[in-house]
Chain A
């Protein structure tokens, strides 16, 4: 079983839709959970950072972590064409070890 599973998509939604992006993981030692956004021909940029289970909201974005189910989500409300990008989940345990990335989900928001 891979450490982190993420559906690669592509996912295509109309402008204004609510988008749900998800990752599952197998290692219960993961404690830090991140979402990165990557536009075409650019490096990933940090979008959301959470520690432990629960929700974190930032504008139109909500990150949700359920450690008991080993499941993390990113919700985008009122999606915009500018949200079209690849979204990568990333997880880290408490030790000084590198991030483990999902493969990324490609999202297109159609105007």
Chain B
């Protein structure tokens, strides 16, 4: 089974902090994705990557950046956290149309 591991289940950060969310997959998938999930808004795509050192903006990239230095690791960076970035963050990897999600990181910005 593919495993997608997100480093933290719960995080509390202060406004203005730089926040790193880490995601690691163990099946050599080329494609990786970051979503945020909010009540009433569903899953929204932040950034995705089709290969190492490649990145593409999703639907809501503002306030975020990403890093993919190694195939198995895809990091989401909140440059200066704000309260409207309080959300559930989900990482996924893909092979042949099948996505596998991590368990999510619930981030609270205070």
Q: Are B102 and A43 in contact (CB under 8 A)?
A: yes
Q: Are A101 and B100 in contact (CB under 8 A)?
A: no
User: A14 CB to closest chain B CB, in angstroms?
Assistant: 26
Contact of B104 among A43, A98, A103, A104 (CB under 8 A): A43
User: Which residues of chain B have C-beta atoms less than 8 A from A41's C-beta?
Assistant: 104, 106
A46 to B1, CA, bound (A): 12
User: Which residues of chain B have C-beta atoms less than 8 A from A1's C-beta?
Assistant: none
A98 to B58, CA, bound (A): 9
Q: Does any Cβ of B come within 8 Å of A32's Cβ?
A: yes
Interface string of A43-66 (1 = CB under 8 A from B): 111100100000000000000000
Q: How many residue pairs, one in A and one in B, have C-beta atoms under 8 Å apart?
A: 45
Most buried by B among A32, A34, A36, A103: A103
- From DSSP, what is the main secondary structure of chain B's interface residues? strand
User: A2 CB to closest chain B CB, in angstroms?
Assistant: 10
A32 to B97, CA, bound (A): 8
Q: Are B40 and A8 in contact (CB under 8 A)?
A: yes
Which residue of chain A is the closest to B58 with respect to CB atoms?
A98
A101 to B92, CA, bound (A): 13
Q: Does any Cβ of A come within 8 Å of B101's Cβ?
A: yes
User: B106 CB to closest chain A CB, in angstroms?
Assistant: 8
Q: Are A42 and B103 in contact (CB under 8 A)?
A: yes
User: Which residues of chain B have C-beta atoms less than 8 A from A17's C-beta?
Assistant: none
User: Which residues of chain A have C-beta atoms less than 8 A from B97's C-beta?
Assistant: 32, 34, 49, 92
Q: Does any Cβ of B come within 8 Å of A99's Cβ?
A: yes
Most buried by B among A8, A34, A41: A41
- Give me 26 A-to-B residue pairs in the complex whose CB atoms sit less than 8 angstroms apart, sorted by A's number: A34-B97, A34-B99, A41-B104, A42-B104, A43-B4, A43-B90, A43-B102, A44-B43, A44-B99, A44-B101, A45-B101, A46-B98, A46-B100, A88-B42, A88-B43, A90-B99, A96-B31, A98-B33, A98-B48, A98-B58, A99-B99, A101-B42, A101-B43, A102-B42, A103-B40, A103-B41
Using a CB–CB cutoff of 8 Å, the interface residues on chain B facing chain A are 4, 31, 33, 40-43, 45, 48, 50, 58, 90, 92, 97-104, 106
